Amino acid sequence: MPGFGGIFVLKHDRFIKIREYLTTNGAVSTKALSDCLGVSVVTVRKDLDEMEQLGFVKRTHGGAMLMEAPKKMDLKTPGVTIPSSIDILTDLAKNYVRPGDFIFIGSGRTCLSLAEKIKTVEGISVITNNVSAVNVLKPYVEDIILLGGEIIMTPDGLFATSDSNLISTTNGIFVGKAFSSGVGINPDTGLTVNNMLSTYVSRAIPQWTSDWYVMADSSKFGIRAFYQAAELEKMRHLVTDISDESVLREYRVKAPELDIIHP
């Protein structure tokens, strides 16, 4: 099992690597995973315990093995907590979804909150990589396209699809509007994320639509995560719960064409 050159690997990405290895080999020891991922055996054990609870793996003495039928996992996410800051900005964002719109919805709990609020808008069609949002929308929305790829768990405990060839496989897709989020937003680096899945998606969105709504609550302002997903100039709208103009001013200066939507 090849290592990753001593690079620190986030839990989300560790889960992906563990599942990839188990899909190929069926079983692995905690020591091998520790060496591969560059984390302690204790961290690996915690990862495997959590993955077992989610139904991805079965723990064994000294390691883990792939569940025989992971496809039977329940992908619903009951009990997901939506902070008030996210609730405020998705209340704003929902007003930009009109009957008959064809929209893209990204992954994460911000987008899940938006999906819950727009599910009864008449005649909308949705394309998404957010498996959790599909569970919310399916009883109400007739046309839903789930982007292909491997189903993974995102850092906030929700489910999304992963496809490193996303840009090429979705070539030719057009949507009226796109709604997504990220880990951080900063005037200099723009939208940043902590995994390549979100990077692939964010970099593809400007090819799908010119009407992109990036939703970022106050906890994400000034944060700079690992991967740059998009410069401010690539976005059309920034939806936030922040109303303090002294905070927003530097974003307006950096990207004069950016439409900032706030309370």
Task: Give the Cβ contact number of residue 79 at 10 Å.
Answer: 6
CB 161 within 8 A of CB 133: no
The tens digit of pLDDT for each residue in 7-44 reads 334 565 677 778 777 877 778 889 888 888 888 889 88
Q: How far apart are CA 85 and CA 106, in angstroms?
A: 18
The tens digit of pLDDT for each residue in 144-195 reads 988 865 555 565 566 666 665 665 666 778 999 999 999 999 999 999 988 7
Section 101-108 average pLDDT: 94
Mean pLDDT, the chain, integer: 83
Three-state secondary structure call for residue 236: coil
Which bin fits 55, alpha (ψ -120 to 50), beta or left (φ > 0)? left
pLDDT band at 239 (very low <50, low <70, confident <90, very high): very high
Q: How far apart are CA 27 and CA 149, in angstroms?
A: 22
Residue 82's identity, in one-letter code, is: I
Question: Taking 50 as the threshold, does the pLDDT of residue 72 lie above it?
Answer: no
What is the set of domains in the chain, with CATH numbers? 11-72 (1.10.10.10), 84-261 (3.40.50.1360)
Q: How far apart are CA 210 and CA 236, in angstroms?
A: 7
pTM surpassing 0.85? no
